[in-house]
């Protein structure tokens, strides 16, 4: 599904190399986790994949189902099936949550040559999915993320993901700032979307999220590279020994 090969990325504004040769392959149906110390480049990787401004790819490639991602505009990447739940979800004042989702959903369908969803079908779909995430009707009418609590924003990200039904879902620290109940809701939302035709990349600082969303593979990122990969037990090792233990062992 997602193939990243020797990806090197630097900042546009200054001559600072952030990603220094990332190699990663996430097959369809799989859930991979990326853990790693603060500042190792995890968010940068997700930003570059989504097409955010400010980063320059100096070497390497990234493809989604064989299609060159780096060549596409952000909206084309989304239409191709990429979804990113941001570490810091953006607020969109003046645009109702429901209107935003309907526009996003229909523009993606249009880009794929599919028919628009009728207002009735859309309402039915969003009510059902919002209910599962305990998002009430009032929250659906409010401007996107404006005045939402941290937990509400994260649940809203999962609602967007559930509505857009992407093929490749990247979640950047979706667990940060969540209490235990919200984390359960978010995890259930993600688990409900697990499918053999869909892949997930879950970026997290803490092992606890991975108790709820069980990954097939865990990668450790440090200083702009994936330095170690293993099974779910790698997350437990991080929990017990910290990153220092693993990095010392690598050195």
Contact call for residue 38 and ligand ADP (CB under 6 A): yes
CA distance 30 to 42: 19
Rounded to whole angstroms, the Cα distance separating 152 from 155 reads 5
Listed as own residue / partner, the contacts of 143-147 with beta carbons closer than 8 Å and 24 or more positions apart are: 143/91, 143/92, 143/93, 143/94, 143/95, 143/96, 143/97, 144/90, 144/91, 144/92, 144/95, 144/96, 144/97, 144/100, 145/89, 145/90, 145/91, 145/92, 145/97, 146/91, 146/92, 146/93
- Identify what 156 binds: Mg ion, ligand ADP, none; CB under 5 to 8 Å per kind: none
42 binds ligand ADP (CB under 6 A): yes
Q: How far is CA 79 from CA 88, 99, 124, in A?
A: 22, 18, 22
Q: Which is nearer to Mg ion, 133 or 175 (CB)?
A: 175
Of the candidates 5, 15, 25, the one whose C-alpha atom is nearest the C-alpha of residue 199 is 25
Residues 194, 30: Cα–Cα separation, whole Å: 8
Q: Least Å distance between CB 22 and ligand ADP?
A: 11
Q: Work out which of 4, 9, 32, 43 binds ligand ADP, going by CB under 6 A.
A: 43
Closer residue to ligand ADP, CB minimum distance, 17 or 63:
17
Nearest residue to Mg ion, by Cβ distance, number only: 43
The entry of Mg ion, ligand ADP, none that residue 118 binds, CB within 5 to 8 Å by partner kind? none
Segment contacting Mg ion (CB under 5 A): 17-25, 41-49, 59-67, 104-112? 41-49
Does 11 bind ligand ADP (CB under 6 A)? Our answer is: yes
Which of 30, 40, 145, 204 touches ligand ADP (CB under 6 A)?
Answer: 40
- Contacted by 154, from ligand ADP, Mg ion, none: CB < 5 to 8 Å by type: none
Token reading at 43? 């968010």
CB of 205 to ligand ADP, least distance (A): 8
Please tell me whether residue 202 adopts helix, strand or coil conformation.
Answer: strand
Is residue 120 within the footprint of ligand ADP (CB under 6 A)? no
Our CA dihedral for 183, 185, 189, 192, rounded to 10 degrees, sits at 110
**Among 13, 15, 38, 118, which residue sits at the site for Mg ion (rule: CB under 5 A)?**
38
46 binds, among Mg ion, ligand ADP, none (CB under 5 to 8 A by kind): none
Q: Which does 54 bind (CB under 5 to 8 A by kind): ligand ADP, Mg ion, none?
A: ligand ADP
For Mg ion, the binding residues in 80-139 under the rule CB under 5 A are none
Partner that binds at residue 108, options Mg ion, ligand ADP, none, CB closer than 5 to 8 Å by kind: none
* DSSP conformational letter for 89: P
Contacting positions for ligand ADP (CB under 6 A): 11, 18, 36, 38-44, 54
């Amino acid at each position: 599904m997602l193939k990243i090969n020797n990806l090197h990325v630097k900042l546009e504004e200054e001559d600072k190399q952030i990603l220094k040769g990332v190699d990663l392959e996430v097959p369809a149906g799989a859930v991979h986790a990326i853990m790693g110390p603060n500042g190792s480049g995890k968010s940068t990787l997700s930003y570059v994949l989504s097409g955010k401004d400010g980063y320059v790819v100096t070497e390497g490639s990234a493809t989604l189902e064989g299609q060159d991602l780096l060549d596409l505009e952000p909206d084309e990447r989304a239409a191709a099936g990429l979804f990113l739940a941001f570490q810091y979800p953006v607020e969109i004042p003046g645009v109702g949550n429901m209107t935003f989702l309907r526009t996003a959903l229909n523009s993606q369908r249009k880009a794929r040559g599919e028919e628009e969803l009728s207002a009735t079908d859309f309402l039915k779909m969003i009510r059902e999915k919002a209910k599962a995430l305990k998002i009430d009707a009032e929250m659906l009418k409010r401007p996107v993320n404006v005045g939402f609590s941290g937990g509400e924003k994260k649940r809203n990200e999962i609602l967007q993901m559930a509505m857009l039904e992407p093929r490749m879902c990247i979640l950047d620290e979706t667990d940060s700032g969540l209490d235990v109940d919200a984390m359960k809701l978010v995890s259930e939302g993600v688990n409900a979307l697990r499918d053999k035709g869909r892949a997930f990349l879950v970026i997290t600082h803490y092992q606890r999220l991975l108790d709820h969303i069980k990954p097939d593979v865990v990668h450790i990122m440090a200083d702009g590279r994936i330095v170690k990969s293993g099974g779910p037990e790698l997350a437990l090792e991080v929990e017990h020994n910290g990153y220092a233990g693993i990095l010392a062992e690598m050195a």
